[in-house]
Every structure is written in C-alpha cells, then in structure tokens.
Chains A and B, each alone.
Chain A
C-alpha cells in the first residue's frame, strides 16, 4: 500500500521515515524526523555539527549503541525496520542498505588486502566462491574507476590515497547492489579535486542501480550541485524540506536562509571589503521555542588605498625552500617560493593537502628551519636568525591554528594561556597584563568571565576566538591564518570571518590566509596565490584570478569546486553601498578616523 507514494510522478518511495526520535537517557538527539527517499533519488540531509544528521543515519541502520532508544517508524519498501529482529537487520545491512563513512583512513581494515575486503562482502551476502568473489571484486574496482584495478586487488589500505580508499569503500557498499546507499559526509576528508570525482561516481551509481542516495553533508555547495531534494536539520528537527531548487532559490525558514547566506559560493562576488556575512542568531524561548533571527551589518570598509602598493612589504619571502629528510634523501615541501605581503593586505593561499602550505606557514613562523632562501620581515632576514634573536621578532608574526580543540592547552585557563604570552614577552606589571587580556577578550567578542574558564567549556567557534585573542595579544602586524575556519560550521565560520575582517580594519593587520577552500579565500583575500607541489603556480587579484586562471592546475581546482546549479539568492548579503556609510552614527564615523 504505502510502497507507492506521490513523491514524484512515477517514482517509488524507497524509504519512508516518520517521526523518528532518538533518546540517550534524558538527552534527545533526534526529535521527530520525517522524510522520504525515492528510488534513484538523492536526498541531502544538511545541517551543522550536532544537529543529529549522523545520528539519524545510524538510527536507520540500527547501528547506535545500546543506550539509544528509538521510536517512530522506518518503512523500507513495506518493511518496518523498527520492528525487525537483529538477524533480519544484519541481512539487510550491506545487502539492501549500505553505508559509506566519512573517514576513509580508518574505515578500511589495515591488515586485509583490498580484494579480500570486497570479497568478504560478496561471499557473505551473495554466497560467491573465493574465485568468483575475486573476479567480481575486480569488476567492482573497475566500476568505481580505480586506476590499475588488477594491481590494487592485492594492495593494502596504506598503499592507497584517500580518494582511492573512499572508492574502495564505495565498491564495498555497492557490492550487493543495495537499493539505498547512505553516504555520511563521504567527501569531507578529501581534497576538492577528488571530491568532485567521488560525488560524480556516487551519482552515476545511483542512476545505474536506481539506488536511493541519502547524502549527509554540511556543505551546501555539494548539496546544490548533486542533490535532488534537501532536508535541512537543526537541533534534531527537520526545519525545512523541499526540492533543491526551491531550497536554494526561495528558502522559507530563517535558518535555511541564514545557512545559505553564510555559506560562500565561488560564483558570487561577495568580498569582505564590501559586505559582511549574515549571521544567524538563535534564541531559545522559555517554552523550548527556538527563535531564529538573521542579521547582517554593513561593513564600513575602508576604501582600498591607492598607495598600498607603494608601501614596502611587511613580509618579503624570497626563494624559500624547506626540506624534509627522508630515506630517499631530502624532499622539498616548499620549493623556491617567493611572495610579498604589504601592510594591511590579505594574501590568500590556496592549495590541496600536501601541497606544502602548512610547511610554508611553519617556516615563516620559524617553527621549521628553511634550508634556503630569505624571509624578510620589514627588511630583516629572520630565516637565518638563531632562536634567541628570533624571539624578539615573534610578536610581529602570529598564527591562528586550524584545530580549535588541539590548539589550546586543555590544562590551562584562558587567563593563564594569555597571561603566559605576555609574561614571556617581558610585560612584568600584572595590572598591565590583566588589562590587555580583558581588552583582547572583549575585542574578540567574549564576555570578561571567559578568562576564568577552561578550553573545554567553550564551543568550537568560541575556542577559535580565544586562538585569535592569543595571536593578537602581542599586537602583531601579520597574522597567519592556517585553515583557521576550515573545521568550523558554516554559521560559525561566518561569524569568525566577520570578526577577522573587523579586526583587520581595526588593528591594520595583514593576513596570510591559508585555506583549501577556494570560496572562502575568494571572500577573504585581496590577492591570491595558488600552491601546488611546493611551488607557487599562479598569483592574481581576488576578482580576476577565478575567471582568468592561466595555469592548468588552477583551472582544474576552480572547476572542481561544487557550485549549486541555482543562482545566488538576492538577499544573500548586504552589499556595500554609500548609504551604508550614511546609516552610521556620526560619532562612530569619527571614532573610526581618530586613530
């Protein structure tokens, strides 16, 4: 009866979830979620970390720990999965419903060969002989387009790259031609050029097998390019469902609108100098009601100074080379890199993992020694300075790290983290230190009481604010932002990017903004460098490089970025206009110039 529903004209509903709830004791992770997936359809479940999207997927597979209580119905082609026995469920998993996980590095068994791992599924679920399983494994590896599949069969996980491992995971998942494939952040750990191939592969397989695809992701670019329908989740609830076109062009819910506004697109022209990103304010009412409020403020950006190019560079890197010793001899992670950063400028650096961008930032900071070349900081070569003398220059270049969880010492309070920095740089008077700590804490948008708290008491975005405070407390002129917003959720990322843009104006900072995410670099950078295999392959202005990329690698990189098929919504951002200036109180304008 319910196998046919009116989702689309001739489509059959494959999976129908209604009022699914997951409780861990008193904590409610999923609070009544309903959605359908049709055959051959891709439904994207979108949301930020902690919204319950992965828990929903695990609940469908009944893979949650014993403490979790499930209620609601999960109808899979007429079979209610919430009522079936564990034995039936085991048989369904891998056979009819399969799953691909986020981290390809840990989801393969390191001591079994690739052929054995694929063959295991075939022998278990389809009863093939060892020989037949091997032949079928080879066919599957060809199907997932792994180069040189014959050789791969006897390889182990460590021989494969991240993208190849994810292909193997997909091969295992589709080995029994499942009718539903759940992909939980399948490309989040992968480089952008690899991501495009993997998503294309998933789409092709879903069409070929008429397989329903439940794509769980936080990336709206991926959603906009690949999904047929979208369900937006927040706090254990689906706040909005609709076709991808409807969600992208006429989002109804303020949270969806905020998410779309806060996520950056390569095909839009928003730039930090002209507009801030909209921020979502979530307020909880007394009765557990959640109120969403979207707000954005005009950025009274300073006009680009005509004479900035005439200023001597704050950082001038010349023919820098950094080597790592390996058994095969030295390998250059940074190879003959030259660039300059002028005062007040944001230089974007894009590149995929392993291109040497992190090594470059560590070399500039003096954490790794350059084997060749010069790093001129305001004209002084710091590349060759011994550690003792380098200490005097450290306050001028500071870094904000990627991982908001690992970059703060878990045993120290915020006060101690910041106080130690000042103490180490010779500020002896305690009163002066505490005043500077309070100043910077207020400036990065944290309440003064935050100083007595410990890192674990903060959210990821708040920790990143503390990381920024630590970098700025020494009043540097250049801040290296090494993937500083990469591990943050879209809405938090918007807040941090706004903060960084404000701080840059206020303190006249220059940024070296390193990221693998081209759309973020496009928004934040004044000038862009593209790094590949340790070399700078292209350099250009932030508005020109995306259209006029000359180097083949840059073109490939730009072509791989997922771009939604639908145009940018009108009210996405508040563009910078002259009226934005006029709206500001005069006093504020005055304070702006009374530096």
Chain B
C-alpha cells in the first residue's frame, strides 16, 4: 500500500506547438486532494472585507490634517469657479479710488491697488489662473518625471545612461530662461505657460523615482514578481511605482508652489498672459509699493501660502493613507 503517483512521466509540451494550459492538469504532480493535515476546509465564498472598498479615501477622511487641507482647497477651487458670480466683469477694471487700505471702505474689503482695481476681485479671479497653472504643471511634471525615472531605473544600463543624461540637461539648463524662451516663441496663454512650466520641472521627480526604482528592484518582491512571470509594465506600474508615491507627492506639492511663482515671474517680466490676473501677477505689481502699501503683496502672498500649506497637509495625509502600514494608525 503506497501513495499513488503518476505512473507515466509528466510530459511538457512545447507551448508554441500546443496550448500549454490544456496540459496543466496532466502535468501537475500535485493536486488539490484533501490531505491528512488539512485542518480547515476552505470556505466557498470570500470573507467580507473588513472595511469599505475605499480604504484610502476612508483613511484620508479620518485624518484631521487631510480634512482641513481638502476643505480649504475645495473652498479655493469653488471660489475660483464661481468668480464671475461674486465679481462679475473684468477684475482688471478700475473701480474705485486707488490705494484704499483693507477695511477702509467696506465695499472693497481687501482694498484697492495703485490703479484703483479691487483686490478682492483680483484674489477671487486670480485663483483660477494660479490653481490651473500650479496643478497642470505638477501633473505634467509628475507624469513625465515618473515615466522617465521608472524607465531609467527599471532598465538600467544604456537606457539609464541616456535618460540620466536627458535629466541632467534639464537640471543644468536654467529652467526659467527655458520657459521664457518657449513662451516668447509660442503664444503666451495660461494653458501653454502651465504645460511649459511642467515640462521644465520634471527632472526632480525623475531623479527621485529613478533612485527609488534602483533600490526597490533588488527587493525580493520584485524578484518574486518576475519569477511568477509578470510582464514589465505590470512590474513597473503595479508593483514598484506604488512604493515610490511618498517622494512623488512631496515633490509635487513643491512643484505646485514653484509653478505659481514662476508664472508670477513671467507676468512680472511681461511675457505672461497680459489679459488675465493671477496671484503671481498681483504680487509682482505690488512690488513697487512694498514699503508704502505692504498689503498689496501680502494679501495675494497669503492666499498663495494658504493654498500651498493646504496642499502639503493633504499630501502628507495622502502619503500615510496610501501606505497600508500607516493607514491603520491615523485615528
């Protein structure tokens, strides 16, 4: 009496000649038979998932920092979208006496600038351009930078050398000058400015992602993925990339802030979009009167700080929420 084993030798047919999956059944020496040590019969349905299907969103909403950041950003976004409702007409119109300080005339709660334009209208309308530029630039640079960094880090060798060389070119070129040149050649609309700023700031993201990939590629779970036969896009995007989100998010929130400021510098140099108002252009135009009317720069500056700060709050909470280890801890 002995354990029955297949009497004939298992034959592996070449997959090119016949469907290999048909042969799996006959090939397997092991089979799903109940054994002596089987203690628990597997249930026939999956157990209920412990939390809802949106663990990241739930974790995010449990974190006070994320709620504050998200609320402020939503308010700013709503304000930008409904700018025409609050302040119909062009915010660049002269509407009152110049240089009213905030609170002097309650019709213009944030005061007016040297040309008699309403500061409050400028903040509300300017949010549109600033948010658009910041978020677009960050998206472009994160997508491009992650892709280049991931490819360089994953493939290594010659591909890595070429891509690293590309990254270094962008790092050593003064990116602001590059933006000025590109914007001068093309039209200076807000959309183009945003994309061009994104195209010149992806190198930081790429470098970070590349370094993370180099380190993670030797991890056993990547080797395991390869030995199971995952294809390259799967390994890059589903296995490794989710493990690099922390540096990506941190860089992205920095890029949002610097993109808003770059746009303001463009406006200051006169290569920005002359027909729109942005927080950056308001800061720029207030510069001349910095000593006599500080509020002209301070108010749009404060709006910028609040936005970036909320982004950072949201970003930090997002990093924790995306990390299963930290997700449970945020109470």
- A residues at B contact (CB < 8 Å): 297, 300, 302-303, 305, 311-312, 314, 343-344, 362, 365-367, 377-380, 389-396, 398-399, 401-403, 406-413, 415, 420-421, 424-426, 434-435, 438-439, 441-443, 445, 447-449, 451-452, 454-456, 467, 470, 472, 474-477, 502, 505-510, 584, 588, 591-595
- Please tell me if B28 contacts chain A, counting CB pairs below 8 Å: yes
- Please tell me if B86 contacts chain A, counting CB pairs below 8 Å: no
**Inter-subunit contact A393/B29 (CB<8 Å):** no
In angstroms, Cα B230 to Cα A424, docked, is 6
**Inter-subunit contact B221/A408 (CB<8 Å):** yes
Given contacts A396-B12, A442-B40, 16 further A-B contacts (CB under 8 A): A367-B223, A367-B226, A390-B229, A392-B15, A395-B24, A399-B227, A409-B225, A410-B243, A411-B323, A420-B238, A435-B42, A438-B42, A439-B42, A448-B46, A470-B228, A508-B31
- Please tell me if B43 contacts chain A, counting CB pairs below 8 Å: yes
- Please tell me if B30 contacts chain A, counting CB pairs below 8 Å: yes
**Inter-subunit contact B35/A502 (CB<8 Å):** yes
**Inter-subunit contact B324/A454 (CB<8 Å):** yes
**Inter-subunit contact B12/A380 (CB<8 Å):** yes
Of chain A, the residue at the smallest CB distance from B228 is A421
**Inter-subunit contact A448/B49 (CB<8 Å):** no
Please, which residues of chain A bring their CB within 8 A of the CB of B3?
A: 302-303, 305, 505, 592-593, 595
In angstroms, Cα B229 to Cα A421, docked, is 8
Please, which residues of chain A bring their CB within 8 A of the CB of B27?
A: 378, 396, 477
**Inter-subunit contact B227/A411 (CB<8 Å):** no
CB distance from A355 to the nearest CB of B (A): 19
CB distance from B112 to the nearest CB of A (A): 52
Contact of B325 among A424, A434, A456, A591 (CB under 8 A): A456
Q: Which residues of B from 18 to 72 have beta carbons under 8 Å from A?
A: 20-21, 24, 27-47, 49-50
Contact of A401 among B4, B33, B45, B223 (CB under 8 A): B223
Please, which residues of chain B bring their CB within 8 A of the CB of A421?
A: 228
**Inter-subunit contact B10/A344 (CB<8 Å):** no
**Inter-subunit contact B38/A507 (CB<8 Å):** no
Per-position binary interface string of chain B over residues 268-303, scored 1 when its CB falls under 8 Å from any chain A CB and 0 otherwise: 000000000000000000000000000000000000
**Inter-subunit contact B16/A389 (CB<8 Å):** yes
In angstroms, Cα B16 to Cα A434, docked, is 29
CB distance from A431 to the nearest CB of B (A): 9
**Inter-subunit contact B35/A591 (CB<8 Å):** yes
User: Known contacts being A438-B42, A592-B35, is A401 close to B325, with CB within 8 Å?
Assistant: no
Please, which residues of chain A bring their CB within 8 A of the CB of B239?
A: 409
In angstroms, Cα B6 to Cα A510, docked, is 14
**Inter-subunit contact A474/B47 (CB<8 Å):** no
**Inter-subunit contact B38/A443 (CB<8 Å):** yes
Of chain B, the residue at the smallest CB distance from A421 is B228
Please, which residues of chain A bring their CB within 8 A of the CB of B322?
A: 411
Contact of A593 among B1, B225, B228 (CB under 8 A): B1
User: Known contacts being A408-B221, A509-B29, is A425 close to B229, with CB within 8 Å?
Assistant: yes
Please, which residues of chain A bring their CB within 8 A of the CB of B226?
A: 367
CB distance from B315 to the nearest CB of A (A): 17
User: Known contacts being A399-B224, A399-B227, is A456 close to B324, with CB within 8 Å?
Assistant: yes
**Inter-subunit contact B30/A508 (CB<8 Å):** yes
**Inter-subunit contact A424/B10 (CB<8 Å):** no
In angstroms, Cα B21 to Cα A173, docked, is 61
In angstroms, Cα B6 to Cα A305, docked, is 12
> What 5 pairs across the A-B complex have the smallest Cβ distances?
A507-B30, A407-B220, A454-B324, A392-B15, A378-B12
In angstroms, Cα B44 to Cα A174, docked, is 63
In angstroms, Cα B229 to Cα A394, docked, is 6
**Inter-subunit contact A451/B47 (CB<8 Å):** yes
CB distance from A261 to the nearest CB of B (A): 19
**Inter-subunit contact B29/A507 (CB<8 Å):** yes
Please, which residues of chain B bring their CB within 8 A of the CB of A472?
A: 30
Of chain B, the residue at the smallest CB distance from A425 is B229
Contact of A380 among B5, B14, B228, B243 (CB under 8 A): B14
CB distance from A102 to the nearest CB of B (A): 21
- Please tell me if B94 contacts chain A, counting CB pairs below 8 Å: no
Please, which residues of chain B bring their CB within 8 A of the CB of A398?
A: 227-228
**Inter-subunit contact A451/B24 (CB<8 Å):** no
**Inter-subunit contact A302/B2 (CB<8 Å):** yes
**Inter-subunit contact B9/A311 (CB<8 Å):** yes
**Inter-subunit contact A389/B28 (CB<8 Å):** no
In angstroms, Cα B44 to Cα A506, docked, is 21
CB distance from A293 to the nearest CB of B (A): 16
Interface centre among B11, B24, B29, B242 (most CB of A within 10 A): B29
CB distance from A500 to the nearest CB of B (A): 12
Contact of B32 among A300, A377, A390, A439 (CB under 8 A): A439
| 21 A-B residue pairs with CB within 8 Å | A302-B3, A305-B2, A312-B9, A380-B14, A392-B20, A411-B242, A411-B323, A434-B45, A451-B47, A452-B50, A454-B324, A456-B324, A467-B224, A477-B10, A477-B28, A502-B37, A506-B30, A506-B37, A508-B30, A591-B36, A595-B3
In angstroms, Cα B324 to Cα A470, docked, is 20
- Please tell me if B95 contacts chain A, counting CB pairs below 8 Å: no
In angstroms, Cα B31 to Cα A584, docked, is 22
**Inter-subunit contact A393/B12 (CB<8 Å):** yes
In angstroms, Cα B39 to Cα A588, docked, is 12
**Inter-subunit contact A505/B35 (CB<8 Å):** yes
User: Known contacts being A362-B223, A420-B230, is A593 close to B29, with CB within 8 Å?
Assistant: no
**Inter-subunit contact B220/A403 (CB<8 Å):** yes
CB distance from A360 to the nearest CB of B (A): 14
Contact of A410 among B32, B34, B229, B325 (CB under 8 A): B325
**Inter-subunit contact A506/B323 (CB<8 Å):** no
